[in-house]
């Protein structure tokens, strides 16, 4: 079985093709990079409308797959930016109609978990999902994925991007901040904002910008922001592991490409006697392959949608969608 997936929740338009053995046959992606400032939903959507047809073609070519071999078309239904989601959904509906194939809606956050789960071989890991717009700790319980902790204000990636721009850099800030942080050594005081299982970043944004305005060296600010923010994420992940009696963590989202975050989570999990896994960068960031793979899991359960019923859901919560492909027995045994 071969499934095609379309991702378009934020700045990345991507088409992926996977098999039922979770072989990734192709990922064709194109990221909208605003000339200045952050992401504008309408502009990003226009970008996606322009590039997606070419991405479909190039994914099919790379995969050496003909449209007649695609058994279903999956797309990210939410959460995400409305105009961006609609661009991807429109392409997916068009393909489903043109190829006469079922349409499978997929939750973007669940897709990050599922691709990491199949690649890691871990049966029931917890996900630390750290991306541009999302920051969540997610675990499976009683038939669906639950958000155990999350950001109370902005996503960690948006925080890093916004901060890097405020420090004179350009989008995307996460990778640039990571390089800058390697040159820093002094840990400057920043607000450490953990509230139970949740985190917040806006106080750290204000404080880091104030340090910059006062002339603190940028590498030290970058280093301190990374250490503080990733400690916060590692702490809530550890608390979730302890509460839910789990021992495995997978990472997902663009910020999970960060070596310091990976290392901090690995150290924490290994000290608890557990295992952590981060997918390769191409499958950590938003990508069509994770949508295709989760679409395949859903399709096998008959979770298809009519075109009329396939409206995008910009605020679709992780715990709103059922994940019946996870064994009910295994789920209850662990809750």
Identify whether the C-beta of residue 161 lies closer than 8 Å to the C-beta of residue 172.
yes
Residue 333 belongs to what H/E stretch? Answer: helix 328-334
Structural contact between residues 215 and 177, judged by C-beta atoms closer than 8 angstroms? no
Residues binding ligand AMP: number (CB under 6 A)? 19
Segment near ligand AMP (CB under 6 A); pick from 20-28, 101-109, 209-217, 252-260: 252-260
Q: Residue 279 interacts with ligand AMP (CB under 6 A)?
A: no
Q: Is 253 in the site for ligand AMP (CB under 6 A)?
A: yes
- The pairing of strands 275-277 and 248-252 is parallel
Contact flag: residue 158 with Mg ion (CB under 5 A): no
What are the phi and psi torsion angles at 54 (to 5°)?
-65, -35
Using CB under 6 A as the binding rule, whether residue 5 contacts ligand AMP is answered as no
Nearer to ligand AMP, 96 or 137 (CB): 137
Choosing from 4, 154, 160, 323, the residue that interacts with ligand AMP (CB under 6 A) is 160
For residue 161, state whether it binds ligand AMP (rule: CB under 6 A). Answer: yes
- Distance separating alpha carbons of residues 14 and 11, to the nearest angstrom: 10
Nearer to ligand AMP, 39 or 139 (CB): 39
Piece in contact with ligand AMP (CB under 6 A), picked from 34-42, 75-83, 208-216, 254-262: 254-262
Quote the CA–CA distance of 309 and 266 in Å, as a whole number. 42
Candidates 14, 29, 120, 131; binder of Mg ion (CB under 5 A) is 131
> In this structure, how many other beta carbons lie within 10 angstroms of the beta carbon of residue 35?
7
Q: Which is nearer to ligand AMP, 79 or 157 (CB)?
A: 157
- Interface with ligand AMP, residue 258, by CB under 6 A: yes
Strands in 2-7's sheet, in edge-to-edge order, are 24-31, 12-19, 2-7, 70-78, 103-107
What is the distance between the alpha carbons of residues 54 and 78, in angstroms, rounded to a whole number?
A: 23
Q: Of Mg ion, ligand AMP, none, which one does residue 80 interact with (CB within 5 to 8 Å by kind)?
A: none
In residues, how long is the chain?
A: 335
In whole angstroms, give the CA distance from residue 235 to residue 205.
19
Q: Is 6 in the site for ligand AMP (CB under 6 A)?
A: no
Task: Of 240, 149, 268, 147, give the one whose Cα is nearest residue 200.
Answer: 149
d(CA 269, CA 2): 35
> Is position 314 an interface residue for ligand AMP (rule: CB under 6 A)?
no
Locus of tokens 């990778």: 175
Query: Which CB atom, from 10 or from 207, has the smaller least distance to ligand AMP?
Result: 10
Contacting residue, 286, 305, 318, 323, with Mg ion by CB under 5 A: 286
Q: Which stretch binds ligand AMP (CB under 6 A): 198-206, 216-224, 249-257, 293-301?
A: 249-257
Size of the site for Mg ion (CB under 5 A): 2
Interacting residue with ligand AMP among 125, 132, 279, 288 (CB under 6 A): 132
Please tell me the chain's helix, strand, coil percentages from 3-state DSSP, rounded to the nearest 5: 50, 20, 30
Stretch binding ligand AMP (CB under 6 A), from 59-67, 80-88, 119-127, 248-256: 248-256
| Positions that interact with Mg ion (CB under 5 A) | 131, 286
């Amino acid at each position: 079985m071969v499934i095609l997936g379309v991702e378009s929740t934020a700045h990345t338009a991507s088409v992926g093709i996977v098999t039922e053995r979770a072989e990734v046959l192709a990922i064709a992606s194109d990221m909208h990079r605003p000339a200045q400032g952050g992401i504008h939903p309408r502009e990003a959507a226009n970008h996606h409308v322009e590039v997606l047809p070419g991405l479909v073609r190039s994914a099919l070519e790379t995969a050496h797959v003909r449209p007649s071999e695609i058994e279903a078309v999956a797309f990210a239904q939410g959460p995400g930016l409305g105009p961006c989601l609609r661009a991807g959904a429109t392409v997916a509906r068009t393909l489903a109609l043109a190829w006469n194939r079922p349409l499978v809606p997929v939750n973007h956050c669940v897709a990050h978990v599922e691709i990491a789960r199949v690649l890691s071989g871990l049966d029931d890991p917890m996900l630390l999902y750290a991306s541009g717009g999302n920051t969540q700790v997610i675990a499976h319980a009683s038939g669906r994925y639950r958000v155990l902790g999350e950001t109370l204000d902005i996503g960690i990636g948006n925080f890093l991007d916004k901060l890097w721009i405020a420090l004179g850099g350009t989008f995307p800030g996460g990778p640039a901040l990571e390089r800058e942080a390697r040159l820093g050594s002094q840990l400057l005081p920043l607000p450490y904002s953990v509230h139970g299982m949740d985190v917040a970043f806006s106080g750290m944004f204000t404080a880091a910008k104030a340090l910059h305005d006062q002339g603190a060296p940028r590498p030290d600010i970058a280093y301190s922001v990374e250490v503080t923010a990733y400690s916060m994420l590692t702490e809530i992940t550890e608390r979730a592991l302890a509460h839910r009696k789990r021992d495995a963590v997978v990472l997902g989202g663009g910020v999970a490409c960060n070596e310091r975050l990976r290392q901090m989570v690995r150290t924490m999990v290994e000290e608890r006697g557990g295992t952590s896994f981060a997918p390769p960068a191409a499958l950590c960031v938003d990508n069509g392959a994770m949508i295709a793979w989760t679409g395949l899991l859903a399709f096998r359960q008959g979770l298809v949608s009519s075109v009329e019923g396939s409206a995008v859901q910009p605020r679709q919560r992780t715990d709103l969608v059922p994940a019946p492909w996870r064994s009910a027995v295994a789920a209850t045994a662990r809750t």
